[in-house]
Amino acid sequence: MIEVKNLTKSLPNGRKLLDGISFTVNKGEFVGILGASGAGKTLTVRCLNGLLKPDSGSVIVEDDQHVKRDICSISKRQLKKVREKIGMIFQGFHLVKRLTALDNVLIGRLGQINSLRSLVYGFTDKEAEEALSALEKVKIQHLAGARVSSMSGGEMQRVAIARAIFQNPTLLLADEPISNLDPSNAKNIMKLIQPLSKDMPVIGVFHQPEMTAKYCSRVIAIKAGRIIYDGDPKISDELLIEIYGEELRHLEANFFSEVPPVPITFTKTKTELHDRPNL
Amino acid sequence: MTGQTYNLKRYRKWVLPVLALAISVEGAALVCGANIRGLNRGLIQGFSFLGHMFPPDWSAFPEMLKPAVDTIIIAVLGTFFGTIISLGFGLAAASNISPRWLRRLTRGFIRIERALPEIIILLFLVAAFGLGPFGGVISLTIGCIGMLGKLFADAIEEIDPVSIEAIEALGASKIQVIVFGVLQPIIPSIISFALFRFELNIRLSVVLGAVGAGGIGLELYRSFSLLDYNKGLTCLIITLALVIITERFSEFLRSKVKLAGVLR
Amino acid sequence: MKEPLLYTLPSVRYRRKATVFALVVLVTVATCIYLGFDPLMLFTEFHYVVDLAGNMLPPNFDMFRTNNHVWWAILETISMAFLGTIFGGSIAFVFAFLAASNTMPVMAIRQVVRFCLALMRVIPYLVIILVFVVAIGLGPFAGMLTLVWATVGTFGQLFTQIIENIEPAPSEAISSIGASRVQVIRYSILPEIFPSFIANLLYSFDINMRAALALGIFGGGGIGFELYMAMRVLRYRDALALICFTIVLITIIEKLSDHLRKKVLGAGALK
């Protein structure tokens, strides 16, 4: 369970980036946060695991032992302990490209194992087995020994999800996880994230309202630092325009217009590549 | 006619700079005592001297092997220790992981070190500890800091900050973040830069040898001082071989690093 | 049923890592012993450093007033570097055109020039200065010639690559309207590589200043020579003063060089 109360953050010149953001997410919910660029979505999510400190407000996270902690006001050491159980995936995946998929998943538990041991010895065989089962959950166990740099975007995001799963988290955060993926991969990733909400609250920032409509259990819309909607994921067109602005009306109109398709003909052009001239 | 005037006018802005350049060149030449006559005489003398150097003293080859090995080892140790130390400096000098005061201090130190030629460092070490390979290795080690420290720090600063945050966000301790978030991604760069520096260090090792660190550089200098020019040519040939082999070796390894992303 | 190898067990990897580490340590220690290099000497014999420091501090900046040689030596070093850069850069420039495949069609000439450039690059400057000192005598002239040689060696290949890496399109365009080779060079290649050339020249001045210092020790004259002499006659305080001045000088020149290079490269193709 995570309870966000009255998050506020302003720039030095007075402009409010976050203005009283409050919501609560429980286990079983998959929350999608929508909003235009700069509205405050990413800022909110980064406040949820302490990557960003708000000017005021609190973020209360409840762990497995039902202990509640306010992320905005705990010490660095406690924050580290809380973060061990918060999984996060990013738009840019942010894996260590040099290492194999398995190694990247193992990195997930860096916080939970002894620091010295992780540096000198590495990970145990048992942990490697568990990491492999995490990869199985995202269906790329066959790539366990492959370098991440050789993988496609969809595969990389799966490794990132496996890394988060491997933490055995009590909360999962996602910052635009499908924005860098093609539509088919995006769907697959959403299909992987959705069942995770059974065991923990999942909060994700998205730019794709059609995805949140299909896979999320709840949608929160943020505009100019304030929550303007919190409820059913199937949002109306008026709300969409409210979130993203008037331009969307024109875009939508052109996208699904009734114009008949223009026949395209390919003309062959002969390009002659001559050698570099002898000067 | 009009076309011609336009052409000339165009070059008018060159006149002053070219004049300034000519004057400074002339002045500098005067200071150095450079003159064409001296150069001509010198060239003739130089070529005849080169003639004296041939043929190389073949008998000296076997006894030159140990100094050559010494030179290589000095360069290898210097690069090895230098890379390790420079990693520390690089971490301390990177803006994304180092507190501001530490970063400024370290960058300043690196800049000062860069201004110090390794030979000068060796002079001091010889004054303190005497002749021998000790000074050579230490001065090469310290010399690495200027170049590698800066290169490492720049490479670290180029890492996407969110990548580092991602490791922080899963609760890793600061050291773990540095090892897995900063060092692991740049290992190919580290190896590449170190190999590049190694090429440089071999040349330096030869020169430092002449100033007192031992090795083939010392033999080279000694033969020239004793007017044993044939032996000098032998040393020169060995030196050339060293430099060329090192360059090929370094290039080969660096290309492999680029391809494989290397080392587990 | 044989399953394909998915990954290597961490315990196996650890064993490999540990073996490699142990080997590296062993080899390092062995070579240190072979060479007679005892890194601990840095700490056990540290009193030598302290002694030296005691002798060196405070630096004797007075010498800049009393010793007339010094200012002349500074001038010598700067002049050496300056001339080395100008002449070396010019020669490297010409050689580069002779060695680049898009400006020199005759392969034989290209090979010869490239061979010369490679030779000039590979021979350590120590040897060059020794030869020049024998041929011309001690002093900054020999040092300057060595720098010319070294600059051609370092930058000849670089310039060749720069020339070869330009886009062929502008040159093709100009030659296609009937320009001669020289005209193509003058109007399309030169303007394009000029900023790069100037930037490298400035960088080479920076390098040559440091090299000029080192050459002074081997008979090249200038500050390096003064420094070496000062240390030989145990005038350590003078030596430290010279070093401080040198560091300041090199830092200023480096900043100047960087600043000018940014202006040149930032302005794009000039003239």
What pLDDT is recorded for position C270? Answer: 42
What pLDDT is recorded for position B73? Answer: 94
Q: With CA atoms as reference, report the closest residue to C211 among A23, B119, A112, B80.
A: B119
CA pseudo-torsion sign B111, B184, A162, A188? positive
Q: With CA atoms as reference, report the closest residue to A233 among A255, A246, A217.
A: A217
Subunit contact A279:C103, Cβ cutoff 8 A: yes
Name the 3-class secondary structure at C179.
coil
Distance of alpha carbon B128 from alpha carbon B124, whole angstroms: 6
Q: Is the peptide bond before B67 cis (omega within 30 degrees of 0)?
A: no
Please give the torsion angle defined by the CA atoms of residues B91, B92, B95 and B97, in that order, rounded to the nearest 10 degrees.
60
- Amino acid at site A167: Q
Distance of alpha carbon C217 from alpha carbon C226, whole angstroms: 8
**Among A66-75, A208-217, A260-269, C231-240, which stretch is predicted with the lowest mean pLDDT?**
A260-269
Please determine, for residue B106, whether its predicted confidence score (pLDDT) is greater than 70: yes
What pLDDT is recorded for position A268? Answer: 54
**Among B10-14, B170-174, C158-162, C166-170, which stretch is predicted with the lowest mean pLDDT?**
B10-14
The pTM of this model reads 0.86
Distance of alpha carbon B178 from alpha carbon C207, whole angstroms: 34
What pLDDT is recorded for position B7? Answer: 67
Q: Assign 3-state DSSP to chain C and report helix, strand, coil percentages, each to 5.
A: 80, 0, 20
Q: Which pLDDT band, with edges at 50, 70 and 90, does A201 fall under?
A: very high
| CB–CB contacts below 8 A, A to C | 46
Paired sense of beta strands A56-62 and A2-10, if any: antiparallel
| CB neighbour class for C85 (10 Å; exposed up to 12, middle 13-18, buried from 19) | buried
Phi then psi for A192, rounded to 5 degrees? -80, -35
pLDDT digits (tens, 9 = 90+) for B142-158: 999 999 999 999 999 99
For B61-260, the fitting CATH number among 1.10.287.470, 3.55.10.10, 2.40.50.100, 1.10.3720.10 is 1.10.3720.10
Distance of alpha carbon C57 from alpha carbon C238, whole angstroms: 10
Phi then psi for C60, rounded to 5 degrees? -90, 85
DSSP C234: T
Subunit contact C7:A123, Cβ cutoff 8 A: no
A window 44-103, beta carbon within 8 A of C: 100, 102
Please determine, for residue A275, whether its predicted confidence score (pLDDT) is greater than 60: no
Per CB-CB distance under 8 Å, the chain A contacts of B168 are 51, 83
Mean pLDDT score, A245-255: 62
Greater confidence (A50 vs C180) lies with: A50
Planar angle of CA A16, B168, A64, nearest 5 degrees: 90
In chain C, what are the domains? 63-267 (1.10.3720.10)
What pLDDT is recorded for position A263? Answer: 63
What string of H, E and C letters represents the secondary structure of chain A? Answer: CEEEEEEEEECCCCCEEEEEEEEEECCCCEEEEEECCCCCHHHHHHHHCCCCCCCEEEEEEECCCCCEEECCCCCHHHHHHHHCCEEEEECCCCCCCCCEHHHHHHHCCCCCCCHHHHHHCCCCHHHHHHHHHHHHHCCCHHHCCCEHHHCCHHHHHHHHHHHHHHCCCCEEEEECCCCCCCHHHHHHHHHHHHHHHHCCCEEEECCCHHHHHHHCCEEEEEECCEEEEEECCCCCHHHHHHHHCCHHHHHHHHHCCCCCCCCCCCCCCCCCCCCCCCC
Greater confidence (C43 vs A128) lies with: A128
Check if the beta carbon of residue A203 is closer than 8 Å to that of residue A176.
no
What pLDDT is recorded for position B63? Answer: 87
- Interface residue A121 vs chain C (CB under 8 A): yes
Which residue of chain B comes nearest to C206, CA vs CA?
B115
pLDDT digits (tens, 9 = 90+) for A116-166: 988 898 899 999 999 999 999 999 988 888 889 889 999 999 999 999 999
- Amino acid at site B149: G
Check if the beta carbon of residue A105 is closer than 8 Å to that of residue A166.
yes
The beta-strand segments (E) located in chain C are none
Check if the beta carbon of residue C213 is closer than 8 Å to that of residue C222.
yes
Q: Is the peptide bond before A261 cis (omega within 30 degrees of 0)?
A: no
The CATH homologous superfamily to which domain A1-85+171-259 belongs is P-loop containing nucleotide triphosphate hydrolases (3.40.50.300)
Mean pLDDT score, C173-192: 77
What value does the mean pLDDT of chain B take?
A: 87
Q: With CA atoms as reference, report the closest residue to C127 among B57, B51, B220, B38.
A: B220
Q: Which pLDDT band, with edges at 50, 70 and 90, does A172 fall under?
A: very high
Mean pLDDT score, C247-256: 86
Subunit contact C136:B46, Cβ cutoff 8 A: yes
Distance of alpha carbon C158 from alpha carbon C163, whole angstroms: 9
- Interface residue B226 vs chain C (CB under 8 A): no
Full strand arrangement of the beta sheet holding A68-70: A16-25, A2-10, A56-62, A68-70
Q: With CA atoms as reference, report the closest residue to C142 among C233, C250, C217, C230.
A: C217
Per CB-CB distance under 8 Å, the chain A contacts of B180 are 96, 107, 110
From A113's Cα to the closest Cα of chain C, the distance in A is 15
- Within 10 angstroms of residue A202's Cβ, the number of other Cβ atoms is 26
Please determine, for residue B264, whether its predicted confidence score (pLDDT) is greater than 70: no
Distance of alpha carbon C141 from alpha carbon B40, whole angstroms: 13
The H-assigned helical ranges of chain B are 2-32, 36-53, 61-92, 100-115, 118-129, 133-144, 150-157, 161-169, 174-176, 184-208, 216-225, 229-260
Subunit contact C8:A145, Cβ cutoff 8 A: yes
Phi then psi for A34, rounded to 5 degrees? -115, 155
Domain range list for chain A: 1-85+171-259, 95-168
What pLDDT is recorded for position A260? Answer: 59
What pLDDT is recorded for position C179? Answer: 76
Bridge partners of residue A202, in order along the sequence: A30, A172
